Homo-oligomer: A and B are copies of this chain.
Amino acid sequence: MIENQAKFIQYIEEHKKDLVKTLAEAVAIPSVSGDASYRPQVRKMGEWLEKQFQEAGAKTSTHELGKQTLDGKEIDLPPVVYAQIGDDSSKKTVLVYGHYDVQPALKSDGWNTEPFKLEEDEKTGCLYGRGSTDDKGPILGWLYVLLAHKSLGIPLPVNLKFCFEGMEESGSVGLEDFVAKEAKGLFSGVDAVCISDNYWLGTVKPCVTHGLRGIAYFKLEIKGPARDLHSGVFGGMVHEPMTDLIKIMSSFVSPEGKILIPGINEQVAELTDKERKVYDEMDFSISDVDNATGSSTTVSDHKPDVLMARMRYPSLSLHGVEGAFAEPGSKTVIPARVVGKFSIRLVPDMQPQKVVDAVKKHVEEQFKQLNSKNTMNISADPPGKPWLADPNHWNYEAAFKATEDIYGVKPDLTREGGSIPITLTFADKLDKNVLLLPMGRSDDGAHSTNEKLDTSNYVKGTELLGSYLYEVSAITN
Is A114 in the interface zone, CB < 8 Å from B? no
Does the CB pair B332–A238 fall under 8 Å?
no
List A312-355 residues whose CB lies under 8 Å from chain B. 313-336, 341, 343, 345
Is A125 in the interface zone, CB < 8 Å from B? no
Q: Which residues of B contact A70 (CB under 8 A)?
A: 329
27 cross-chain CB contacts under 8 A = A35-B327, A103-B331, A103-B332, A215-B232, A215-B332, A227-B448, A231-B343, A232-B345, A233-B418, A234-B292, A234-B417, A235-B310, A236-B315, A238-B297, A246-B249, A246-B318, A247-B255, A250-B250, A297-B374, A298-B373, A317-B333, A317-B334, A319-B332, A319-B334, A319-B335, A320-B326, A320-B331
A200 shortest CB reach to chain B, Å: 11
Instruction: Name the one of B327, B330, B372, B450 contacting A170, with C-beta atoms under 8 angstroms.
Output: B330
Known pairs A234-B310, A235-B317 / 13 extra A-B pairs, C-beta < 8 Å? A70-B329, A199-B233, A227-B448, A230-B418, A233-B310, A243-B254, A246-B246, A295-B373, A320-B325, A321-B321, A322-B328, A331-B341, A332-B343
Q: Which residues of B contact A341 (CB under 8 A)?
A: 325, 330-331
Does the CB pair B229–A448 fall under 8 Å?
yes
Is A270 in the interface zone, CB < 8 Å from B? no
Given A242-B318, A246-B318, A331-B104: A299 and B448 interface contact (C-beta under 8 Å): no
Given A324-B321, A341-B331: A299 and B230 interface contact (C-beta under 8 Å): no
Question: CA A446 – CA B70 in complex, angstroms?
Answer: 31
Is A244 in the interface zone, CB < 8 Å from B? yes
Is A217 in the interface zone, CB < 8 Å from B? yes
Is A362 in the interface zone, CB < 8 Å from B? no
Q: Which residues of B contact A331 (CB under 8 A)?
A: 34, 103-104, 319-320, 341, 447
Q: Which residues of B contact A446 (CB under 8 A)?
A: 230, 233
Given A234-B293, A236-B345, A319-B324: A381 and B330 interface contact (C-beta under 8 Å): yes
Main secondary structure on A side of the interface with B = loop
Question: CA A183 – CA B372 in complex, angstroms?
Answer: 48
Q: Which residues of B contact A381 (CB under 8 A)?
A: 330
- Top 3 A-B residue pairs of the complex, sorted by shortest distance between their CB atoms: A226-B294, A232-B418, A236-B315
A307 shortest CB reach to chain B, Å: 8
Q: Which residues of B contact A370 (CB under 8 A)?
A: 255
Question: CA A49 – CA B233 in complex, angstroms?
Answer: 27
Binding site for B on A (CB under 8 A): 34-35, 70-71, 103-104, 109-110, 170-171, 199, 213, 215, 217, 219, 224-240, 242-244, 246-247, 249-250, 253-257, 289, 292-299, 306, 309-310, 313-336, 341, 343, 345, 370-374, 381, 416-419, 442, 445-450
Q: Which residues of B contact A255 (CB under 8 A)?
A: 239, 243-244, 247, 370-372
Q: Which residues of B contact A35 (CB under 8 A)?
A: 327-329
Does the CB pair B225–A293 fall under 8 Å?
yes
Given A233-B199, A236-B345, A293-B226: A242 and B319 interface contact (C-beta under 8 Å): yes
Question: CA A256 – CA B238 in complex, angstroms?
Answer: 8
